[in-house]
Amino acid sequence: MSRTNAEPVRVAVLAGGYGTRLAEQTDAMPKPMVQIGGRPILWHIMRLYGAAGFDDFVVACGYRGTMIKRYFLDYREETPDITVDLTAGTVTRLAGSACPMEPWRVTLLDTGLETATGGRVRRLREHLTDTFFLTYGDGLCDVDLGALLQFHQTHGRLATFTAVQRASPFGRPVLCGDRCIEFTEKPLDPNEWINGGFCVLDKRVIDRISGDEVSLEAEILPQLAREDQLRAFRHSGFWAPMDTLRDVRHLNDLWNSGRAPWRR
């Protein structure tokens, strides 16, 4: 039996890691604050959910979390064009230049510097709904979030993750002896699916997380799979992580060219 939700489904975002694979950027800022098209990737992720009608967020902060909190504290003040009257001490936002306000409710919680992903979810417990979305603060996707939630509610298990295919960074040759008869650049392997985040979890999953050191990916999801409590929502559309400087450039190129599949 699937569980019904009397309250809107909240969205939890894991945004507390060090982001060591992107040290060029994350020495100075948390990874979710790395900018794509002039906005933090965290903003882009939240726009995906907001466009689907899910606008109540709980953000698990950690490394340089005060920067994420400051971003939202100052959000209303963001504007590209202003007039500053130094004599009067006033600041006027020019017409048409004010930052559009998103109808979001954002709860930002310090979940520790060294806390693992499962431990971060555990620390969010009192702020989560009985069923909640969970994703990482460093990946973008054009998955149908309404369909994902419906899929989760229909199968009645405790957890769902979005299964995606990632293009190989290497070209794939097809060889016949020493002759190359075909060469595919950055191919997708139709038989290889990975965890792309964009999960839906039943709050009872948190009962399995004993402390800060527990990894969601290495411990909790495998346990759920063994107990037939985990389902995969296959998404064959766009998905991209932001793990390297090359990824940052790729996502910026997509956004700046108007070709970003996640644009809402």
pLDDT beyond 70 at 180: yes
Question: Domain residue spans in the chain?
Answer: 10-166+193-256
- Give me the mean pLDDT over the 169-196 stretch: 71
Strands (E) across 1-101 are located at 10-15, 35-36, 39-40, 56-61, 82-85, 90-93
Q: Kindly report the backbone phi and psi dihedral angles of residue 147, in degrees, each rounded to the nearest multiple of 5, phi listed first.
A: -65, -35
- Give me the mean pLDDT over the 158-165 stretch: 95
- Give me the mean pLDDT over the 197-203 stretch: 97
**What pLDDT score does 108 carry?**
97
Q: What is the pLDDT of residues 214-263, one digit of tens each?
A: 999 999 999 999 999 999 999 999 999 999 999 999 999 999 999 999 99
- Give me the mean pLDDT over the 193-219 stretch: 96
pLDDT beyond 50 at 2: no
Between 197 and 94, the more confident residue is 197
**What pLDDT score does 197 carry?**
95
Mean pLDDT, the chain, rounded, equals 88
Task: Give the C-alpha separation, 252 to 143, whole Å.
Answer: 19
Cβ 69 vs Cβ 108: under 8 Å: yes
Task: Give the C-alpha separation, 61 to 17, whole Å.
Answer: 8
**What pLDDT score does 152 carry?**
97
**What pLDDT score does 107 carry?**
97
**What pLDDT score does 58 carry?**
98
Residue 67 is encoded by which pair of tokens? Answer: 């920067």
What letters, b where the CB count within 10 A reaches 16 and e where it falls short, cover 135-174? bbbbbbbbbebeebbebbbeeebbbbbbbbbeeeeeeeee
**What pLDDT score does 3 carry?**
41
Task: Give the C-alpha separation, 36 to 250, whole Å.
Answer: 9
Question: Which CATH fold topology does 10-166+193-256 show?
Answer: Spore Coat Polysaccharide Biosynthesis Protein SpsA; Chain A (3.90.550)
Cβ 143 vs Cβ 235: under 8 Å: yes
**What pLDDT score does 148 carry?**
98
- Give me the mean pLDDT over the 104-123 stretch: 97
Residues in the chain: 264
- Three-state DSSP class for 41? helix
Q: What is the pLDDT of residues 114-144, one digit of tens each?
A: 999 999 999 999 999 999 999 999 999 999 9
